[in-house]
Structures are given as structure tokens and as C-alpha cells.
Amino acid sequence: MTDHEDTRERVADVCRRLAACGLVNAEAGNVSVRVGGEVVVTATNARFVELTADQVCVVDLAGYRLSGDLEPTSELALHLGIYRKFGTSAVVHTHAPMATAVGLVVEELPCVHYYMLKLGGSVRVAPYSTWGTSELADSVLTALDGRSAALMANHGAVTHARSLDAAVEQALLLEWACTLYHRAASMGTPRSLDEVQQQAVVTAALARMNNAPAPTSGETS
């Protein structure tokens, strides 16, 4: 076990970035990254805009605190549940304004743009439960099936990914998609991509990946 000083700094950086992007208001959000069998996670009541590494603690996958002076986030069960269920490496939970607003009025955010396929397509809204409860964690885990993002009714949003930077990008993408949906819905009924259109995007992306030339040794860009 180490105190993961570098990772705690990275988590603190990410938190301040999320605040600067307007995704997190005051202490309303939490971030974690898994390093092997340990999880580096923000402390409860940490204010994102000024969050520092000493407000980030380390727990094991059972939630036992290994280092850090403060208690981990009250949504720790959600973070740990995501790691156990999906084997992923980073989780970002925010009360981002547009994601939270959209989660108040829809049961599922439809796939209105092909970039949403980076989130798995449409984004489900997990039913409301009180913050910090196992019921909330369970409903969000269900909503995340086959997805890297979920909205949380009357609460916020969560994303997960294989790296901290990717989880942040997912959170920004989700907020963008919710903003897009809101703007479109104010003018009429937004069109969604159907299953065939979504599959064609996935097929095109896979073909592009497979056709990309392999980097040669010594290649730098």
C-alpha cells in the first residue's frame, strides 16, 4: 500500500477542472480512480474549486480507509460498485446543471447524436433514492448496464471509463449531449438515431480503427 501521492494530485487537478468547466457546484460531486486493488477517492464535503491532494483519500475495494485524514465521499458505495461490476478504472459523479435538469424530465436521454455512442448510446435515468444509500448505488449500477454514463433522477450524473481523463471527457460529453437535447427540445421533438443508424456508426468506427496504419518504431506522431 502507498499513499498514491501522484494520483491524489491528479484527482485534485481533475476536480478543479470540473469546477472550472461548471460541472460541479461547491462540494456537490466526487471523483475516484482505481489503482490495482485500491481506490483513490475524494473526501466527503471537499470543495471542488479549491480541492487539494490532502482532500483525497485511499480505500480498498471493500471501502476500508488506507490513508488520508478525511472520510471518503458519501457515495463511496456507488464508486466501489462500479469498479466491482464493470472492472473499470475511474468514476466521475457530478451535479452538472444540464444533466441534472434533463434527468428531471426524461426516463432516458435518447441517442440524438452519433457522439453519444461513446457513452453507449442512449443514457438511462436511474430512479431517485436518497444520496449515499445502497438503493441509489444499485439503481445507478442497473442504469449503467452496457453504458459508460447514467443520469440520476433529481440528483446528477455519473460516468466511468478506463482512465481518469477519459471519465472526465465522458462527463463533459454527457453534459454537452444534455445541452444539445435541451436546445432541440425547446424547438420541437428531437430526432433520435435508430438502431440501424447507430450500428452503422459503430461499424464505421471499427473499420477505421482496423485500417489505421500500425505505428512504425521510432514514429513520434
Q: How far apart are CA 73 and CA 173, in angstroms?
A: 24
The residue type found at 189 is T
Residues 92-121: x where in contact with Zn ion by CB under 5 A, - otherwise, as a string: ------------------------------
Residues 149-168: x where in contact with Zn ion by CB under 5 A, - otherwise, as a string: -------x------------
Residue 110 vs 132, nearer CB to Zn ion = 132
Residue 89 vs 129, nearer CB to Zn ion = 129
Rounded to the nearest 10 degrees, the angle between the axes of helix 5-20 and helix 164-185 is 20
Residue 158 vs 177, nearer CB to Zn ion = 158
Q: How far apart are CA 168 and CA 59, in angstroms?
A: 21
To Zn ion, the closest distance from the beta carbon of 121 in angstroms equals: 24
To Zn ion, the closest distance from the beta carbon of 172 in angstroms equals: 17
Residue 23 C-alpha cell reads as 460541472
> Alpha helix (H) ranges present in 97-194?
97-102, 134-143, 164-185
Three-state SS for 197?
helix
Residue with smallest beta-carbon separation from Zn ion: 156
List residues binding Zn ion (CB under 5 A). 156
